[in-house]
Amino acid sequence: MSRIPFKYKKFHAELGCKCPSLENLREFDDIAYRFVIEDLNHFNNHNPPYVITPARIDSEDCCDVKCKGYAISLFTDLKKAENKLKKFLATKPLLSNVLGNCIGKIQVTPECGMVDIPNIKDTHFNLHEFENHKSFNITIVTKIE
């Protein structure tokens, strides 16, 4: 059970449900990949989707979905992250202004927060940051032209 409070605990409380569900979370200590904007200091690179405005929130979403809106999106596999971003940008070119058009490499440690289990197919997972985690040190590894 997590002893360190989560960074977005205030928002979690407002959801009025069990967020995040700790039984499904665990530690992670490895490299992970993220869609980032080339300007590494950009707000969107360091914040979860529901904190980035305007969020695409659906008020009827279930607790679990809304809770993940306050987590950082990451991938364990670089190639799969790249393919996913390429497809998103081919589908919606202006998404590059929101998600970015680069893949950034991040070292995630147990001190950053807790993660859910990566999706088998696309390796996407969510990191719920701890309160004392400030920001990530991101290195760009790929740029989608």
Residue 54 within binding range of other proteins, rule CB under 8 A: yes
Which residue from 2, 21, 24, 97 is in contact with other proteins, where contact means CB under 8 A? 97
Residue 64 within binding range of other proteins, rule CB under 8 A: no
Which residues 6+ apart lie within 8 Å of 28 measured at CB? 108, 109, 110, 112, 114, 115, 125, 127
Among residue numbers 98 through 127, which ones bind other proteins (CB under 8 A)?
A: 98-99, 121-122
Which residue from 10, 18, 92, 143 is in contact with other proteins, where contact means CB under 8 A? 92
Tokens of 122: 């696309």
C-alpha dihedral sign at 98, 32, 6, 71:
positive
User: Which three-class secondary structure state does DSSP give residue 133?
Assistant: coil
Nearest distance in Å: CB 1, other proteins = 27
DSSP letter string, 111-129: TTEEE-PPPTTT-EEEEEE
Residue 93 within binding range of other proteins, rule CB under 8 A: yes
Q: Which is nearer to other proteins, 14 or 111 (CB)?
A: 14
Which residue from 49, 78, 141, 144 is in contact with other proteins, where contact means CB under 8 A? 49
Which residues 6+ apart lie within 8 Å of 1 measured at CB? 22
Tokens of 112: 């950053």
Nearest distance in Å: CB 94, other proteins = 5
Which residue from 28, 37, 69, 123 is in contact with other proteins, where contact means CB under 8 A? 69
Binding residues for other proteins, rule: CB under 8 A, are 49, 53-60, 69, 73, 87-88, 90-95, 97-99, 121-122
